[in-house]
């Protein structure tokens, strides 16, 4: 699940991921609407319930209030659902891309989350 201040950002990331995994997993995009920045906690809750599966769901956030909104959304979930929702400490683009590829290969949610969070150590230019 992709949570950004701008919905176009989350949709753009999803577009890149979909080209690689061809819809192998469900991805929800959350972000400000109609050119406005921001996120809506109830939209995050709705999206969690929409995409969660038996393993759970990983939320990728861009910065600041999106992380706060994701944490607030966790507090609005039933305990059974909440236990299967993870907020990744990972860059939204690289982390979500790696996670989607790993998930599409059938990896466990713990393996997917670990791989996504390792993306923050990725060296892009030497």
Q: Could you report the per-residue pLDDT of 8-42, keeping only the tens digit for each?
A: 999 999 999 999 999 899 999 999 876 778 789 99
Residue-wise pLDDT for 46-89, tens only, equals: 999 999 999 999 999 998 899 999 999 999 999 999 999 999 99
DSSP at 34: T
- CATH of 2-121 given 3.40.50.510, 3.40.718.10, 1.20.140.10, 2.60.120.620: 3.40.50.510
Per the CB < 8 A criterion, the answer to whether 88 and 99 are in contact is yes
Q: Active-site residues: which are they?
A: 5
Looking at beta carbons, which pairs linking 21-25 to residues 24 or more positions away fall under 8 Å?
Answer: 21/100, 21/101, 21/104, 24/100, 24/103, 24/104, 25/100, 25/103, 25/104
Model-level pTM? 0.94
């Amino acid at each position: 699940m992709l949570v950004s201040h701008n919905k176009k950002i989350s949709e753009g990331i999803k577009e890149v991921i979909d080209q690689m995994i061809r819809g192998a997993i469900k991805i929800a995009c959350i972000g400000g609407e109609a050119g406005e920045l921001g996120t809506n906690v109830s939209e995050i809750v709705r999206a969690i319930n929409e995409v969660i599966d038996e393993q759970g769901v990983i939320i990728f956030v861009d910065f600041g209030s999106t992380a706060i909104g994701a944490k607030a959304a966790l507090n609005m979930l039933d305990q059974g659902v909440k236990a299967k929702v993870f907020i990744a400490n990972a860059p939204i683009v690289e982390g979500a891309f790696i996670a989607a590829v790993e998930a599409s290969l059938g990896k466990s949610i713990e393996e997917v989350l670990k791989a996504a969070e390792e993306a923050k150590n990725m060296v892009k230019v030497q």
